[in-house]
Chains A and B, each alone.
Chain A
């Protein structure tokens, strides 16, 4: 039942992917900008069950992997996002203190974005990728945290609305 409902979320993620590739990257935001798909996937996972969270990570990760700007091999982002989304969903599942409070979700998402990027970086290093200077890496991580903390409260209501349409009113904030 939930799996069938999960597939209904594909158009939403595809739209976010298009927005990210066609618009967000064009804005040339300072400090590395924001990865909208990553933020939406983590918010979506925070509102879902762990299984749906892992599936969300799988779908969103695949989309991020087919993006030309992804430096790693296919499956790199997928692996990272499965773990990240599952972890976030696991932390929030059944705990209304987390799920019922938008501030907690924003906080969880921000931490999740930074953690996912750090894991992505470490995994990339293990696969032989160059990561550049430490200063630049820290700048990008700090920039991502900043932009996520700015953007996620703005889109949380919208993501929550679509999540509630697909999975029912229980997940609506």
Chain B
């Protein structure tokens, strides 16, 4: 039995995993990072448009602060997020971006003086203040009150990931590439690491650790068309689910991005619309103001995706061999702006569509993009079901996004959660003693080897890729942007049948070393479990909240549904997950439920909302300063080194 020991095992080499590993390493704990691919190829690199942090340096960002960022995040989540976590996040984001600045990210900077920008389809001149010259600038994104999204052209994720991985290399953090965690080693109460398969040699190795951090990103690839990289198959969440004790949170909360190109499903950044781009229909008409007169193209993602779908259902889509789409028009931004700030978008258009967005409209359609759900954690990042198991980034349901994530809050979460959770991981390691029987490790190793033996021994059975195709289609057709009872019932039934069939997979290629078919055979049953968590959670949730839109229950129902779905898979013999719910306590909310300001407000309110509003009004009348008010309304804990107030140009630490 080959065993690798470390204090911290991080599964996933994207931004959040690397940042957590860096935090633990700086505190004196040795960390090993596992990655399916070289770390710099992780899906974090695909984030184009930017990272939200309330630096308030640029002209259109002035007046921003943690409170405004917090409120935007909570509203964006449709009040489904954990407000403690959203607060921890908003207060730490400025520190995370400044840290990345010292680590080498070439953030685009404010240039003082006049500049022309496009706002609501018109060119206007704004004057950037002299005192901000050279500070980090920001662009507009959907669902935000201020221009808060900091960026490097449209390669923000790339520059962040390169700086982060370079920092990890400087600290000599080992990244074990082409390794896949197949199972968590645990005793029902504590996690002790993972059984890992080397994707080149095929060898199974036990990685034993005090703390294990799942940072494997989202599960977008359970859908047939997704903006996600092909490695975003949710395997980290799946192995947590397979422990039977670690719950997944809000798996039905799946975001569809308004502007992925058709047919490839590759993203064009929200920065296109943030910088002034428009959505047009088959007649060339700009339709978003008809639906959302105030925020127009820059309504929150879930809203824009639904409006686009509605508009196409009215016959206003552009027909194509791949189904209807709409147009994204960035021609009004001009060549100079596109060449400088939207060059990845331009390259994607040239290579995959053969068009030049300087002159041509881009064919786009809402497409699966982000997984709000994931491994449920406490604000410390630790699983409530398994000691020593942590999760960060998109893989986690730390829960700062609730039922809809704001653009620019994803890469921001990765680095902020990595900073915060990394400290709590280090705290845990400070106190943890490894006490485990080798028979426990051997048992998990034998189980995983047995699975592989079974796949190789069978003469006849199911084809993993065929089951996968069927799953992807079900998710697209029945668990998509708009949902309702009958298709969801069918989806649960059909996925359950597929999952049963997945117990009888066969791997025709009987090679133990590098073997793509074996990888598929090991992943597909786990993907089906995740798909069932999504579909069953969506079937049970009889309301509409954020990205979860039920046509048969169009209202947000705070009275009955202000709660988080927890999915468990108690034993491997089960055919479906078990759902439980965790109530969100309005009486502890800093921002009680209200209207997001889109369409007609149909909310069924909870009786606590009015009580909490009255409490907050009374407290606000005392004229406390904003920090004290926040501390009274929403007293959060943060690791000590992350507690200070953030400085802003012109106003200091106000």
Co-complex (A, B): no
**Contact surface of B with A, Cβ cutoff 8 Å:** none
